Structure 1
Amino acid sequence: MRQQPSLWLVIKVASIFFVLCLILTLHRYYTFYASFDQGIFNQVFWNGTHGRFFQSSLSSSLSTNVVHNGEVPEVFYHRLGQHFTPALLLWLPLYALFPSPVTLTVLQVTLITAAGIVLYALARHYLEPPLAAMVTVSFYGANAVIGPTLSNFHDISQIPLFVFGLLLAMEKRKWWIFWLLAVLILAVREDSGVVLFSIGFYLVVSKRFPRIGLAVCTLSFSYMLLLTNAIMPLFSEDISRRFMIERFGQYTDEEEATTLDIIWGMISHPERLIGQLFSPLGKKISYLSGHFLPLAFVPAASASAWAIALFPLLQIFLQQGESRLAITIRYALTVVPGVFYGTILWWANHPKRFKPSFRRFWVGCICLSLFFTLTSNPSRTFYFVIPDSIQPWVYVSLPQQWHHVWQIRSLLSQIPSDASVAATTYIVPHLSSRREIIRFPALQLRNDRQQVVNVDYAIADLWQFQQYQVAFDSDRELLKQGMTVINQLINSQEYGLIGFADGVVLLQKGTPNNPSATNAWAEYQKTIQIS
């Protein structure tokens, strides 16, 4: 191994990446900073191990029936109407062996780490070991890779591994592996066909494998249209009434739209499309720079990088909303494979430019990318290092948070594992291995007997909202809403306050109030100053 210093460097960097990301993501989970999506995926996996594939009451709370029609969440709601993600079944046996939200955290870090190893093998097909190693180190130092890895578990974490594997299979002419991975990419989620379509587009315009490229484009485009217009609507109306409108509603004047409607809207209103593509220009240039920085901006000069990353970039740029341009969230991973593969191809044509002076510049770019990753505080992973706000000051220290953690756990231990429960966002993941769970302040759901019932327990962490409400409007509103709902439930005697600790309230249906908990709650309310 030591006779191959470049490979040894990649293994060391990959190991450091794996260990650090695992420590940070597990710490984020155990200190109650993992949030709602972690709970959704854990409940989907948990239900899957009980034969109820892709069902989730947590996902149901985000469905159009609940959001737009005012219905109550259903425990038998099939998430496939929101996101079609059959590839998750690959990991169900692993989850069945280790049924815990932590398993998903470990899985995500493992998938991304493995993707970097495959990237090195792909780079070695074209490049000498030192240059291939630099490309791989850039991957592990990219904000667009680290940020999504440190977040809640998400399905897109499979994309880099599958795409790098597909490209490596193409280079090795292992076509059965190529097509197997093409199918797996499509199975990741309903819009992952955009990534595959872009690869097909590259194969056509580069004239490397035009027939295969045309087949890939046809397969991916047809699959996405069939899935979003015929298959997903069988489960729910979410794709047309919610997701298409939320992301691409600017291209239609209707309250609901299919993918075909949105495509036609783009074609028939080119001025809207062009305006969305370039606005806001500064933020989009910054987004591209974030992708190019760890690779010393080489992708900007690579026609192949632009071709392979083109359609994932268009998918992001043509959406509305600010979060799409955050390089630390999961969508950035769809752009990563094209950027890195295009860089490999550029270096294959310009190997003599890898001089010591450029290498030093490259290392500086990677370090700068790591610095920006830290200061961006992805998913509040570095909350104990980076303040969330300077003016006004918002900072939670490590001892302060861990003290709070033990208070939460003392109350969680009182909730039976089979009880129905409502919980605030950051507690949801820790209680999501159950059939009946929703997000507080909602208290009702429809059970397997088709009955609308109130949950047995409700637990709300108001302390979390209290820390952040001075700087963030959403936390301030949640704090106000939580206090109002809790007092209403106590006064109506529908729920009894059975536990209170450090701003965390535990309620049980049809149970008398605990006097000491009630007194502590009353005293706590006096300390809250809502700005």
Structure 2
Amino acid sequence: MITPRSVSWVVAGTLLTAYSTLSVHRHRRMESTGYDLGIFEQGVRGYAHFRAPVAELKGPGFNLLGDHFHPVIAVIAPLYRLFPSPVTLLVVQSALLALSAVPVTRLWADRHGVRAGTCVGLGYGLAWGVQQAAVFDFHEIAFAVPLVARCVVLLARGRDRAAAAWAVPLLLVKEDQALIVAAVGALLFRRGERGIGALLVLLAVTVAAAATLVVIPAFNPDDSYKYFGVTEPDSDNPLLRLVTPMATKGPTVLALLAPTLFLGLRSPLTLLLLPTLLARFWASNPFLWGTEFHYSAVLMPIVFVAAFDGLRRVRTSGLPDRLTHGITRVAPIAIVTAALVPTVIGAQPLGRLLDPSYGRVPSRVDAARTILTTIPDGADVAASNHLAPQLTGRCRVFKLAPAALALRPEWAVSADLDPAVAGSGEGVTAQELAAWGYRPVARGGGISLFRLRN
């Protein structure tokens, strides 16, 4: 017999297969990047060998705790010690994102049946915010997604104290997750759990302040938290700043709410989105405003659970039974369709799995990988962005830039200006490498390998 519990794990297993297949294949095609897969591998590699999480790609001797407060990534260290590869991080991330579908699927299945739960679970797993995170390298935020999912599901079930307990570990994922923890605390306070709610808000504020004002500056070479400096105002009017440019921020809000038929607007759980969205829209970094990258993954569980709560409120709102029954039947189908159609037509990353040509690794990538094997294990290498994660598992890798070349690494490898291979951040030309004392030793597959002259 198919139960809500079993179907939730089937959905998660399906998503794990899709996420890991695409992310690992993307890495095989040299589409992964040093920023951020290589950086996080270097940090985890440090933990795995009982050292500080130093990421040379961020700068010589740079401790990742001087960038963000994410001690949670240390839990990957034992697995990485057994399987020292960037693929380990990609699979871990895929598993975490897939795991977040379990409580969401089961919540819907328990109330509306296995078929509805399956539709919504797949709709959640194929939602753009989750897909964008699954395909773009590795980020610590992957740990937050299942924690948020479990926390919000418990809120929807009325288990407020258990929800508070699941919110606390978010403070070990990244300093900005304190926004969600504080929001959960405020919601609990509003529900009548005033002691726990106030304590959760106080804990979130305290940990965030300690992380950004004490811990991170202590490990940062500039003795500061640099992300305080990316909020220069674009407008003297704070309200105007939060909504402009409307052409970017408006569609992001619409993209969050529309896939669940705006049902979440009937639920107070949707308020949990506000602190994170306001912080993103207040920042001057345009990457934070849109729907790309991993920034919205942590919001997707809130959206889908709020939709469940919103549908429940619709059913008890006094509308005609025929209407509410129709909405209840149509909603799960509409939710999975809203996620499945963009994927099938190739508008979302997982659509690449349906393209046979994408399944083949280009011959130039194989040629490039052959050249990279020339570099011995343990060597010091200055590498361009897309080549770095091909080497971080076995070499000491720096970003290809003058600051790294000043350290005189024995090897340097750069990607030619080929969009299929080349990455961002190419800051050194062949002529400049020659000036630093590097001679070309191999070229092919869209990359050039250099070695320091004796």
TM-score above 0.5, yes or no: yes
Alignment of structure 1 residues 288-307 onto 2, 5 Å: 288-299=253-264, 301-307=265-271
What per-residue deviation string (whole Å, max 9, x for no partner) do you get for residues 460-495 of structure 1? 120534x699xxxx96x94xx55xx213434x4812
Q: Matched residues in 1 for 2:294 and 2:175: separation?
A: 15
SS state at 2:220 partner: coil
Q: Give the CA deviation at 1:169.
A: 5.4
Give the Cα separation in 1 of the matches to 2:421 and 2:362: 17
Q: CA deviation at 1:22?
A: 1.4
SS at match of 1:96: helix
Kept in 2: contact 1:131–1:354 (CA 8 A): no
- Give the secondary structure class of the aligned counterpart of 1:444: helix
2: CA distance between counterparts of 1:398 and 1:121?
34
> 1:141–1:367: 8 Å Cα contact kept in structure 2?
no
Q: Structure 1 vs Structure 2: percent identity of aligned residues?
A: 21
- Cα distance per residue 1:292-338 (max 9 Å; x no partner): 23312212x22413322121121222122321123232110232232
- The 3 A distance-change label for structure 1 pair 399 and 182 is closer
Distance in 1 separating the partners of 2:314 and 2:118: 16
Q: Which has the larger radius of gyration?
A: 1
Equivalent residue, structure 2, for 1:266: none
Query: Equivalents in 1 of 2:225, 2:273: separation in Å?
Result: 28
SS of 2:292's equivalent? coil
Give CA deviations for 1:89-129 in whole Å, capped at 9, x if unaligned: 22221222211100000001100111110223444676555
User: Structure 2: how far apart are the matches of 1:136 and 1:381?
Assistant: 18
What amino acid is aligned across from residue 418 of structure 1 in structure 2?
Answer: G
Which of residues 224, 235, 245 in structure 1 aligns to 2:219? 235
1:163 paired residue number: 148
Partner of 2:228: 244
CA distance in 2, matches of 1:464, 1:363: 42
CA displacement 1:315-371 (0-9 Å, x = unmatched): 222122321123232110232232223222222333466645664465345333344
What is the rounded CA distance, in whole Å, between the counterparts of 1:410 and 1:24 in structure 2? Answer: 23
Quote how far apart the aligned CAs of 1:9 are: 4.9
Aligned letter for 2:368?
I
The alignment's TM-score, normalised by the length of structure 2, stands at 0.87
Mapped contact 2:267–2:309 kept (Cα < 8 A): no
Q: What is the aligned partner in structure 2 of residue 47 from structure 1?
A: 46
Give 1:456 shift.
Answer: 0.7
From 72, 82, 89, the counterpart of 2:74: 89
Change (3 A) 1:343 1:399: closer
Alignment partner, residue 410 of structure 1: 370
Q: How much has 1:376 moved relative to structure 2?
A: 4.3
Alpha carbons of structure 1 residues 145 and 502: separation in structure 2 relative to 1, 3 Å: closer
1:194 to 171, 179, 187: 179
Give the alignment's TM-score, normalised by structure 1: 0.75
Letter in 2 for 1:229: L
- Aligned partner letter, 1:275: L
Secondary structure in structure 2 of the residue aligned to 1:48: helix
Question: Do residues 147 (structure 1) and 132 (structure 2) align?
Answer: yes
Q: Give the aligned CA root-mean-square deviation in angstroms.
A: 3.1
Matched with 1:218 is 202
Equivalent position amino acid for 1:328 in 2: E
* Separation of aligned partners in 2, 1:303 and 1:399: 42
Deviations 1:184-236 (A, max 9, x none): 1000011111111111122223x242321121111101211122112221111
Q: Distance in 2 between matches of 1:119 and 1:327?
A: 21
| Partner Cα separation in structure 2 for residue 109 and residue 279 of structure 1 | 34
Structure 1 pair 405–443 and aligned structure 2 pair: CA distance change class (3 A): farther
Deviation string, structure 1 residues 393-431 (Cα, Å, up to 9, x no partner): xxxx64985201111111111101110001111111111
Structure 2 counterpart of 1:112: 97
Determine if the alignment matches structure 1 residue 102 to structure 2 residue 87: yes
Contact 1:305 1:340 in 2 (8 A): no
Contact 1:121 1:168 in 2 (8 A): no
Contact kept in structure 2, 1:140 and 1:146, CA below 8 Å = yes
Change (3 A) 1:381 1:138: closer
Q: More deviation in 157-166 or 142-151? A: 157-166
Residues 1:331 and 2:305 aligned together: no
Aligned equivalents of 2:5, 2:354: Cα separation in 1: 34
Structure 2: distance between partners of 1:421 and 1:121: 48
Structure 1 match to 2:444: 501
Q: 1:25 pairs with 23, 27, 32, which one?
A: 23
Q: How many Å separate the matches in 1 of 2:251 and 2:154?
A: 33
Report the counterpart of residue 318 of structure 2 in structure 1: none
Paired with 1:327 and 1:334, the residues of 2 have a C-alpha distance of: 12
Long gaps (5+) in structure 1: 61-73, 252-268, 387-396, 446-451, 512-531
Note the C-alpha offset of 1:131. 4.4
After superposition, residues 382-401 of structure 1 pair within 5 angstroms as 382=352, 398=358
Distance 1:40 1:383, change over 3 A: farther
Preserved contact between residue 182 and residue 205 of structure 2 (Cα < 8 Å): yes
Whichever residue aligns with residue 312 of structure 1, its letter is: T
Structure 2 residue aligned with 1:486, among 424, 430, 433? 430
Judging changes above 3 Å, is the alpha-carbon distance between structure 1 residues 241 and 8 closer, same or farther for their aligned structure 2 residues? closer
Aligned to 1:456: 410
Paired with 1:211 and 1:122, the residues of 2 have a C-alpha distance of 27
Separation (CA, whole Å) in 2 of partners of 1:11 and 1:232: 38
Aligned partner letter, 1:297: F
Alignment check: 8 A CA contact 2:31 2:421 kept = no
Confirm whether residue 185 of structure 1 aligns to residue 175 of structure 2.
no
What is the CA–CA distance in structure 2 between the aligned matches of 1:303 and 1:403, rounded to whole Å? 52
Which residue of the partner structure matches residue 70 of structure 1?
none
Q: Which residue of 2 aligns with 1:287?
A: 252
Task: Decide which of 273, 277, 302 is 2:242's aligned counterpart.
Answer: 277
Give the match's secondary structure for 1:33: coil
Match of 1:322 in 2: 286
The CA deviation at 1:499 is: 0.9
CA distance in structure 2 between the partners assigned to 1:208 and 1:339 by the alignment: 23
The separation in 2 between residues aligned to 1:182 and 1:102, in whole angstroms, is 29
* Equivalent AA in structure 2 for residue 420 of structure 1: D
SS at match of 1:464: coil
| Distance in 2, Cα, partners of 1:361 & 1:272 | 39
Question: For 1:359-374, what aligned pairs fall within 5 Å after superposition?
Answer: 359-360=329-330, 362-373=332-343
SS at match of 1:191: helix
- Deviation (angstroms), 1:496: 2.0
Q: How far 1:239 sits from its partner (Å)? A: 8.1
For 1:302-313, list aligned pairs within 5 A: 302-313=266-277
> In structure 2, what residue type is equivalent to 1:495?
Y
Aligned residues: 445
